[in-house]
């Protein structure tokens, strides 16, 4: 039955080294009868290990064979899956070819490994079909991906015909998309051997906007702009600026968590990558997602020129920025580029200095929404400390003791900010836990 892998049409781009291709080759050799048992078993174990590694990476459980096939289906970007991502189920001749491929996958779901296992005296596939994984901490795997794959895997295993199989897969494409963008929230843009790739960021903070105490007006501005963006309405690039540790980056991470289920994705890039912005945009402009390109701690020294790439992409280049892309940046500087007194001089002997200053200031002007996150007052700082302390039952100080210790902490740890408050609470909670363990011992 594994020979049917060669009959795939839309989903045939699996990669020659893929598990499915390798297993197909193994079964071909097994069916021919001319093989050395030791060699064939070694090749089988190699592919079993690959399935186990995939299962560990994504936290799969119960039936790793079904989960693997489901993973192939929802990560294979082809003309049919990409179209279904945009329009869902639709009429078209391509459905005929999709039905052919789904029929192949449906039969693979029900494949009986027992004859080969009995002939080779192995039981590895039977074990994969009834697998119990070792419980893992969530940061060791991408729980978001794991839950989606396992839910669809169970649904596909239970369908009775290829029509129901088709509906389940296409429904997944419509709801979540296909490939890495369908499964992950955030990405980095990296270069490998001169080729640019997206790499998922798995261990994201589970922060929400309510975790950021205060800044209600600032958060509302950010939410309103993002809400318009995901609805396809007019919106602006956004610059969050102000004092360090006031929650700028936290707010953007919270926005991603809030709008992920509505198709929002985030791509984090660094200063040295600004020259590749046009390439990045070309790879995502036709996808059925809303992308925020995130630039943390955006600032330039007066000798740096990377800001010119950024200016051209945001506004001013020949190509219009696609509607599904916005740029959100954080900075400790309102105007992003360090100014010198020579920039400000309008002396007759150097009339172009003011032009230089205008060019630098024009970058910040390309962000239609600017939000100032200023350092909290002493009262606001204590409110943040009190809010954070409530999350840790082991912190049993009175409010007066808490405020007194917080005041001492901020004086020696960088001053008043939300970040300082969080670091203080981390210290208290860690100390309380250690003391509790020592007394319990």
What DSSP assignment string belongs to 214-282? S-HHHHHHHHHHHHHHHTT-----EEEEESTTSSHHHHHHHHHHHHGGGTEEEEE--GGGGGGHHHHHH
Mark whether 383 and 368 lie in a shared domain. no
Interatomic CA distance for residues 338 and 304, integer angstroms: 10
Phi, psi dihedrals of residue 281, rounded to the nearest 5°: -65, -40
User: Which of 94-108, 181-195, 382-396 ranks highest by mean pLDDT?
Assistant: 94-108
Residue 312 has pLDDT above 60, yes or no: yes
Tell me: the pLDDT tens digits for 142-180? Answer: 677 788 888 999 999 999 999 999 999 999 998 888 888
Paired residues of 264 in beta bridges: 290
Residue 331: pLDDT band (50, 70, 90) is: confident
Contact 48, 124 (CB under 8 A): yes
Q: What is the pTM of this model?
A: 0.75
| Inter-helix orientation angle 162-176/143-158, to 10° | 160
Among the listed ranges 161-170, 191-200, 226-235, which one has the minimum average pLDDT value?
191-200
Interatomic CA distance for residues 341 and 359, integer angstroms: 15
Paired residues of 327 in beta bridges: 293
Mark whether 368 and 423 lie in a shared domain. no
- Where in the sequence is the domain holding 434, given as residue range(s)? 378-440
Mark whether 341 and 409 lie in a shared domain. no
Residue 132 has pLDDT above 90, yes or no: no
Of 183, 207, 236, which closes a domain? 183
What tokens appear for 23 in the block?
């297993």
Mark whether 367 and 387 lie in a shared domain. no
Q: What is the sign, positive or negative, of the torsion defined by CA atoms of 75, 76, 82, 87?
A: negative
Of 373, 390, 406, which closes a domain? 373
Q: Are strands 186-192 and 195-201 parallel, antiparallel or unpaired?
A: antiparallel
Q: Which of 16, 112, 113, 39 is nearest to 6 (CA)?
A: 16
Q: Percent of the chain beyond pLDDT 90?
A: 34
Residue 109: pLDDT band (50, 70, 90) is: very high
Number of domains in the chain: 3
Interatomic CA distance for residues 134 and 131, integer angstroms: 10
Contact 70, 154 (CB under 8 A): no
Residue 72 has pLDDT above 80, yes or no: yes
Mark whether 234 and 345 lie in a shared domain. yes
What tokens appear for 424 in the block?
């203080």
Interatomic CA distance for residues 149 and 294, integer angstroms: 27
pLDDT higher at 27 or 356? 27
Mark whether 170 and 222 lie in a shared domain. no
Residue 441: pLDDT band (50, 70, 90) is: very low
Average pLDDT of 73-87?
90
Of 339, 373, 407, which closes a domain? 373
- What is the reported pLDDT for 162? 95
* CATH for 264: 3.40.50.300
- Output b/e per residue, 86-109; b: 16+ Cβ within 10 A: eeeeeeeebbebbebbbbbbbebb
Among the listed ranges 154-158, 206-210, 311-315, 425-429, which one has the minimum average pLDDT value?
311-315
Mark whether 426 and 300 lie in a shared domain. no
Mark whether 171 and 96 lie in a shared domain. yes
Average pLDDT of 310-321?
63
The SS3 of residue 373 is strand
Secondary structure letter of residue 274 according to DSSP: G
Mark whether 255 and 140 lie in a shared domain. no
- Alpha-helix runs per DSSP H in 262-412: 277-284, 307-314, 341-344, 353-365, 378-389, 399-412
Residues 12-16: contacts with CB under 8 Å, at least 24 apart: 13/76, 13/78, 14/72, 14/76
Interatomic CA distance for residues 150 and 70, integer angstroms: 8
Mark whether 224 and 341 lie in a shared domain. yes
Paired residues of 187 in beta bridges: 200, 267
Paired residues of 372 in beta bridges: 241
Residue 341 has pLDDT above 50, yes or no: no
Mark whether 80 and 215 lie in a shared domain. no
Among the listed ranges 7-11, 194-198, 314-318, which one has the minimum average pLDDT value?
314-318
What DSSP assignment string belongs to 358-370? HHHHHHHHT-SEE
Average pLDDT of 94-116?
93
Residue 347 has pLDDT above 80, yes or no: no
- Output b/e per residue, 329-351; b: 16+ Cβ within 10 A: bbbbbebbbeeeeebeeeeeeee
What tokens appear for 369 in the block?
């929404």
- What is the reported pLDDT for 438? 46
Distances (CA, A) of 224 to 221, 231, 236, 314, 399: 5, 11, 10, 20, 35
pLDDT higher at 23 or 298? 23
Contact 340, 302 (CB under 8 A): yes
Mark whether 368 and 383 lie in a shared domain. no
């Amino acid at each position: 039955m594994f020979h049917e892998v060669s009959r795939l049409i839309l989903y045939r781009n699996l990669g020659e080294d893929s598990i499915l291709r390798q297993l197909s080759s193994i079964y071909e050799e097994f069916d021919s009868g001319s093989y050395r048992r030791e060699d064939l078993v070694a090749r089988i174990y190699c592919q079993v290990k690959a399935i186990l590694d995939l299962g560990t990476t994504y936290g799969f459980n119960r039936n790793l064979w079904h989960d693997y096939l489901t993973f192939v289906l929802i990560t294979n970007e082809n003309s049919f899956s990409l179209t279904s991502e945009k329009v869902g189920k639709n009429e078209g001749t391509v459905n005929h070819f999709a039905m052919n491929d789904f029929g192949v996958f449906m039969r693979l779901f029900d494949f009986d490994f027992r004859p080969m296992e009995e002939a080779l005296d192995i039981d590895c596939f039977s074990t994969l079909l009834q697998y119990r994984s070792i419980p893992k901490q969530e940061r060791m795997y991408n729980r978001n991906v794991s839950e989606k794959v396992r839910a669809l895997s169970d649904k596909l295993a239970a369908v009775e015909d290829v029509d129901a199989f088709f509906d389940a897969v296409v429904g997944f494409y419509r709801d979540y998309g296909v490939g890495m963008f369908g499964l992950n929230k955030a990405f980095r843009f990296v270069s490998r051997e001169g080729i640019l790739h997206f790499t998922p960021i798995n261990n994201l903070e589970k922060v929400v906007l309510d975790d950021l105490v205060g800044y209600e007006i600032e958060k509302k501005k950010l939410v309103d702009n993002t809400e318009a963006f995901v609805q396809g309405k007019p919106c602006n690039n956004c610059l969050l600026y102000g004092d360090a540790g006031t929650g700028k980056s936290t707010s953007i991470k919270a926005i991603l968590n809030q709008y992920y289920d509505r198709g929002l994705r985030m791509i984090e890039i660094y200063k040295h990558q600004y020259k590749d912005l046009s390439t990045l945009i070309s790879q995502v402009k036709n996808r059925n997602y809303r992308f925020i390109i995130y630039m943390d701690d955006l600032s330039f020294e007066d000798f740096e020129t990377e800001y010119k790439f950024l200016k051209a992409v945001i506004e001013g280049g020949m190509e219009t920025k696609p509607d599904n892309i916005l740029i959100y940046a954080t900075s400790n500087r309102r105007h992003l580029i360090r100014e010198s007194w020579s920039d400000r001089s309008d002396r007759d002997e150097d009339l172009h200095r003011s032009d230089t200053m205008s060019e630098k200031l024009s970058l910040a002007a390309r962000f239609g929404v600017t939000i100032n996150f200023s350092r909290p007052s002493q009262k606001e700082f204590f409110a943040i400390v009190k809010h954070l302390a409530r999350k840790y039952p082991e912190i049993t100080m009175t409010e007066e003791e808490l405020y007194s210790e917080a005041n001492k902490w901020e004086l020696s740890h960088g001053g008043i900010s939300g970040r300082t408050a969080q670091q203080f609470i981390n210290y208290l909670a860690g100390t309380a836990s250690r003391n509790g363990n020592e007394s319990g011992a």
